Amino acid sequence: MRRSVLLAIAPLLLLTLPAPRQASAANAPPIVAAPVFNASNFANSTRIDNPYFPLKPGTTFVYDGLPKGQGQHTEVQVTRETRMIQGVNCVVVHDRVWAKGELLEDTFDWYAQDQAGNVWYMGEQTTEYKNGVPSTSAGSWEAGVNGAQPGYIMEAHPQVGDAYRQEYLAGEAEDNAAVTGLSQSVSVPYGSWAGNVLVTKEWTPLERSVLENKYYAPGVGMVKVETTKGGSEVSELVAIRNE
């Protein structure tokens, strides 16, 4: 699913699409709407303090896949760099994935928080590796370039049933999410939380056979990812480093 330099900056895009709508029946794909983007709603866009998706510069989140020692190892570093996209200053996050010591993916993601507290996903530059050599940059996109549109990575006030677009570039990046729980419990190597964990179901029409659940702990962010359809991968937060 989502993994992330396009240099062209398109003119300001003002979307007038409806707000996220409620999901339909549990076993049916939710009805997904695109969030409304307006650059004037981002007064202090690089201060990302949404409790479910805080991005403090100098923080690195470390995840290990299961079984331990055989799954993928991921490090997500919140850099002190910023990037201007569609008139909004965005935080640059460096995301790298290894398997058995070999780099598989190297991505720069771009995020911004609006005045209401929604965290927007503004694009990504991603490179996949094979045998230590870059193999493809498919999936890279930037809001406003070639018709790409931004979306929510985390709502300000998530409610069960909310379904929303996370990203959109036709045929390249079409991830969606739906909130399925707000009071779940989860335990990972980094810590445990009881009754206050947000859970989302995430999917893309580009890979219809795959579904993921992601777990977000308040004040921490994402603590667990599990594939529930189309695989059995699990990744858990094992450490947070602060520079």
Give 32's pLDDT tier (boundaries 50, 70, 90): confident
Which residue, among 199, 220, 221, has the nearest Cα to 211 in the 3D structure?
199
Answer whether residue 11 is part of any domain.
Answer: no
Answer whether residue 13 is part of any domain.
Answer: no
Answer whether residue 158 is part of any domain.
Answer: yes
Cα separation values, 166 from 131, 155, 185, 229, Å: 31, 10, 24, 20
Lowest mean pLDDT among 6-10, 17-21, 33-37, 135-139: 6-10
Separation of alpha carbons 23 and 12, rounded Å: 30
How many domains does the chain divide into?
1
Token pair 């996903």 is found at 121
pTM value is 0.87
Separation of alpha carbons 136 and 106, rounded Å: 11
What percent of the chain is predicted at pLDDT more than 70? 88
The predicted model gives 116-122 an average pLDDT of 98
Domain of 86? 21-38+49-242
At residue 159, the pLDDT reads 97
Answer whether residue 63 is part of any domain.
Answer: yes
Which residue, among 106, 118, 108, has the nearest Cα to 151 in the 3D structure?
118
> Is residue 236 predicted with pLDDT exceeding 70?
yes
At residue 27, the pLDDT reads 52
Lowest mean pLDDT among 16-20, 27-31, 204-208, 234-238: 16-20
Answer whether residue 69 is part of any domain.
Answer: yes
- What are the tens digits of pLDDT across the range 140-199? 999 999 999 999 999 999 999 999 999 999 999 999 999 999 999 999 999 999 999 999
At residue 31, the pLDDT reads 78
Q: What is the CATH number of the domain that holds 114?
A: 2.40.360
- What are the tens digits of pLDDT across the range 52-78? 999 999 999 999 998 777 789 999 999
> Is residue 7 predicted with pLDDT exceeding 60?
no
Per residue, the 3-state secondary structure of the chain, as one string, reads: CCCCCCCCCCCCCCCCCCCCEECCCCCCCCCCECCCCCHHHCCCCCCECCCCCCECCCEEEEEEECCCCCCCEEEEEEEEEEEEECCEEEEEEEEEEEECCEEEEEEEEEEEECCCCCEEEEEEEEEEEECCEEEECCCCEECCCCCCEEEEEECCCCCCCEEEECEEECCCECCEEEEEEEEEEEEECCEEEEEEEEEEEEECHHHCCCEEEEEEECCCEEEEEEEEECCCCEEEEEEEEEC
Answer whether residue 4 is part of any domain.
Answer: no
At residue 28, the pLDDT reads 54
At residue 109, the pLDDT reads 98
- What are the tens digits of pLDDT across the range 102-115? 999 999 999 999 99
Answer whether residue 44 is part of any domain.
Answer: no
Answer whether residue 8 is part of any domain.
Answer: no
Separation of alpha carbons 147 and 195, rounded Å: 40
Burial class (CB in 10 A: 0-12, 13-18, 19+), 101: exposed
The predicted model gives 226-242 an average pLDDT of 96
